[in-house]
């Protein structure tokens, strides 16, 4: 699985806000999808440099569950668009 982090800070995982203002970590099953999402947010000048980091599914999902952090599994069938608010959040 793949997540976005601030470059050189893999411990801080990128998250977005859902429609209820809950922070949600997008977890991509395909590297290509994570890279494509990264390219979309790199077009926004307000984002810091980000990178794609590969993680074992049980590690990232377990960490989210242990912390009560919401997450969403993004498969190749999903289409994720960056939020209008370019404020990156890390967990």
Greatest mean pLDDT among 4-8, 65-69, 85-89 lies in 65-69
* Chain segment 3-15, per-residue pLDDT in tens: 999 888 777 889 8
pLDDT at residue 84, as a whole number: 67
Instruction: Provide the 3-class DSSP secondary structure of residue 14.
Output: strand
Instruction: Indicate if the pLDDT at residue 87 is higher than 70.
Output: no
Report the distance separating Cα 47 and Cα 62, nearest Å: 27
Mean pLDDT of the 47-64 span: 92
* Chain segment 14-55, per-residue pLDDT in tens: 988 888 888 999 999 999 999 999 998 887 777 788 999 999
Q: Please tell me the pTM assigned to this model.
A: 0.84
pLDDT at residue 88, as a whole number: 46
Distance of CA 2 to the CA centre of its chain: 8
């Amino acid at each position: 699985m793949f997540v976005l982090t601030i470059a050189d800070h893999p411990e801080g995982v990128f998250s977005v806000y859902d429609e209820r203002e809950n922070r949600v970590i997008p977890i991509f099953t395909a590297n290509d999808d994570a890279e494509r999402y990264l390219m979309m947010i790199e077009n926004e000048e307000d984002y810091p440099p980000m990178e794609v980091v590969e993680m074992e599914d049980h590690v990232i999902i377990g960490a989210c569950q242990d912390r009560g952090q919401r997450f969403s599994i993004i498969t190749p069938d999903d289409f994720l668009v960056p939020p209008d608010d370019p404020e990156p959040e890390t967990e």
